[in-house]
Structure 1
Amino acid sequence: MNKQVQVHGALLLVALIYGSNYSIAKEVMPFYVGPFGLIVIRVVSAALFFGVFSRLVVKEKIVGRADNLRSIACGVTGIAINQLCFFGGLNLTAPINAALLMVISPVAVLLFSAVLLKERVGWRKVTGIVTACLGALLLINNSRGEGTPGNIYGDLLIILNAVSFGMYLVLVKPLMQKYKAVTIVSRIFAVGAVIVVPFGWRQLLAPAYGTFPTSIWLAIAFMVLAVTILAYLLNTWALRYANASLVGAYIYLQPVLAILIAIGFGKDVFTLQKGLYALLIFAGVYMVSRTRQHTAVKAGANN
């Protein structure tokens, strides 16, 4: 299969997983597990999984002071700040607000890529970002209702999460040129786990887990296995073959997929307007993807 098709397939699956997460996470918190307690479950589970897999199967280490410091920065921005702000914000604000504000992340990727990675910011890439952003804003604004109030503190946390994740995508890119995806993800989750445990251990111990219905356990399992382990692994792998701006641009698909999922559950209605807004998002992602040849990493042996 063509490598570019694989990359787009991986990023589309990540967008689908994240698009589902907005509604699924809201079912779990705060009624069953607090947001920070849920983060501890996710991050520690992923750290243990990747730590064991990396040590027993991959057997690769990050070497050098610069790479080790960068991997720590990735753990802080991509796991600790990202997760704490996202779930803290989502717990306070409406899912539709969170989806709206997450479109800031690709803009942050574009800016950080230009500053830190010296990526060329051409007119096509800027136009793609603006087009996709416009489509996402119109789509979500069209989907907002009186029953989905926001919260200014929650919204601010989501903005911080979006900027932090954008910086993570840029910081992790150089590491992907040297190491396997599992090696990187193992390190960043280990760093993230050390930071998030003090924030969430009280909420982790508070619930009566024996009273949880099966649906809640399935939701937690989805957030650990799909949203945490699979999504981060696919995102990190995709950065080996695509520039950070393309990976960031796929965030614009999350609101589209979130609304489609809501339609499937009878919580939203598809209209011609929504279809046109979704086309704007896809057009923007296409324009960004057409610029990948400038910064894409050659396909190497560490697949």
Structure 2
Amino acid sequence: MNKRSLAIMAAIMESTIYGLNHTIAKAVMPEYVKPFGFIFLRVTGAAILFWLVSLWFPKEKIANSDWPRLIAATVCGMVINMLLFFKGLSLSTPINSSVIMTISPILVLLLSSYLLKERITLLKVIGIIISLSGALILILFSAEQKYNAPNIPLGNLLFLINAFSFGIYLILVKPLAAKYHPITLMKWLFLCSFLINFPITFWEFRQIEWESMPPAIWGSIAFVILGTTFSTYLLNIFAIKQLAASTLSSFIYLQPLIAIVFSVAVGADQLNLLKIVAGSLIFLGVYLVTKKKTVTGS
């Protein structure tokens, strides 16, 4: 099997884990762990794991010229991205989060086109407008207060900002992924993430009442640390070595399918007409934007 095929398999596995995460992480917040406290667990756990694993890999030094890009990638992919996604998930629903995240490829296209000075066609502009309309419908008109979702419009807005931040991360990390071993890159990204997130997240981490957690919640936390954080970021950095940022971001379309089936199956969310209409607009817009590949990544 060639490297590109392996990269595609890694991207599929990454999206599958993320699709499950929308519901699994939601079950933990905010009753057992508040969102920022959860980020402390994610970042600290992943940083420890990556540094331990790095003991079995060759040592690489990050060039001084690459540190600004690495820190910027950390801020976008492991600070803003994580904080806003988990905060939004604590306020909104798993289906909303998975649907709005599909707008990320459009944001990657816009960013890549801007950085590469490539022209965006009229068809893509129409697609962007349609997709953003769907996202805005979810943000402005989702008002139900079910399924532990106290502020759905605000949560959905945070998802949109989160998707934009993750799009920037994919653009920034691409050159670094081509230059360094995935383990080297991840251990430094997560160490920087730990240092930046610490003052923001430690207070909520201290509020966790460990003795009151049932075994299922412990399992969910372990899944988020080992699966959603350690495994997905490693799979992502492996995949982006072989795939363009815009190509990799398109695998996010698997997330809503997995998230919807799983969340409805376990009773964590439900489909309604608003979500179907908004989701259809987002998917139509994304289809128009990605109909013809014009971006090769950076």
State the TM-score, normalizing by the size of structure 1.
Answer: 0.80
Kindly provide the amino acid, as one letter, of the partner of residue 86 in structure 2: F
Q: Is the 8 A contact 1:133 1:252 kept in 2?
A: no
Matched residues in 1 for 2:292 and 2:58: separation? 33
| 1:71-113 CA-partner distances (Å, limit 9, x unpaired) | 1111111001111111111111222222232122111111111
Kindly provide the amino acid, as one letter, of the partner of residue 208 in structure 1: E
Return 5+ residue gaps in structure 1 as ranges: 298-303
Would you say how many aligned residue pairs link Structure 1 and Structure 2?
Answer: 288
Kindly provide the amino acid, as one letter, of the partner of residue 247 in structure 2: L
Who is 2:158 aligned against? 157
Matched residues in 1 for 2:297 and 2:2: separation? 15
Specify whether residues 290 and 185 from structure 1 end up closer, same or farther in structure 2 by C-alpha distance, changes over 3 A only.
farther
The yes-or-no answer on 1:60 pairing with 2:57 is no
Who is 1:100 aligned against? 99
Question: How far is 1:185 from its partner?
Answer: 1.4
Q: Is the 8 A contact 1:19 1:255 kept in 2?
A: yes
The yes-or-no answer on 1:76 pairing with 2:75 is yes
Q: Is the 8 A contact 2:246 2:296 kept in 1?
A: no
Kindly provide the amino acid, as one letter, of the partner of residue 243 in structure 1: A
| 1:249-277 CA-partner distances (Å, limit 9, x unpaired) | 111221111112235436668xxxx8xx8
Who is 1:86 aligned against? 85
Who is 2:187 aligned against? 186
Matched residues in 2 for 1:33 and 1:262: separation? 20
Specify whether residues 76 and 296 from structure 1 end up closer, same or farther in structure 2 by C-alpha distance, changes over 3 A only.
closer
Of the structure 1 ranges 260-269 and 158-167, higher mean CA displacement relative to structure 2 is found in 260-269
Question: How far is 1:288 from its partner?
Answer: 4.9
Return 5+ residue gaps in structure 2 as ranges: none
Specify whether residues 56 and 260 from structure 1 end up closer, same or farther in structure 2 by C-alpha distance, changes over 3 A only.
same
Who is 1:12 aligned against? 12
Matched residues in 2 for 1:11 and 1:147: separation? 34
Q: Is the 8 A contact 2:54 2:187 kept in 1?
A: yes
Give the secondary-structure state (helix, strand or coil) at the position aligned to 1:177.
Answer: helix
Who is 2:36 aligned against? 36
Map 1:1-303 → 2, pairs under 5 A: 1-63=1-63, 65-116=64-115, 118=116, 120=118, 126=124, 148=146, 151-265=152-266, 288=290, 291=293, 295=296
Q: Is the 8 A contact 1:86 1:158 kept in 2?
A: yes
Q: Is the 8 A contact 2:171 2:297 kept in 1?
A: no
Kindly provide the amino acid, as one letter, of the partner of residue 256 in structure 2: P
Matched residues in 2 for 1:58 and 1:259: separation? 41
Q: Is the 8 A contact 1:58 1:182 kept in 2?
A: no
| 1:10-44 CA-partner distances (Å, limit 9, x unpaired) | 11111111111111111111100111111000101
Matched residues in 2 for 1:146 and 1:52: separation? 44
Aligned-pair identity in percent equals: 37
Give the RMSD, CA atoms, in angstroms: 3.6
Give the secondary-structure state (helix, strand or coil) at the position aligned to 1:103.
Answer: helix
Give the secondary-structure state (helix, strand or coil) at the position aligned to 1:17.
Answer: helix
Give the secondary-structure state (helix, strand or coil) at the position aligned to 1:295.
Answer: coil
Give the secondary-structure state (helix, strand or coil) at the position aligned to 2:243.
Answer: coil
Matched residues in 2 for 1:39 and 1:217: separation? 15
Matched residues in 2 for 1:208 and 1:145: separation? 31
Who is 1:301 aligned against? none
Kindly provide the amino acid, as one letter, of the partner of residue 222 in structure 1: F
Q: Is the 8 A contact 1:241 1:296 kept in 2?
A: no
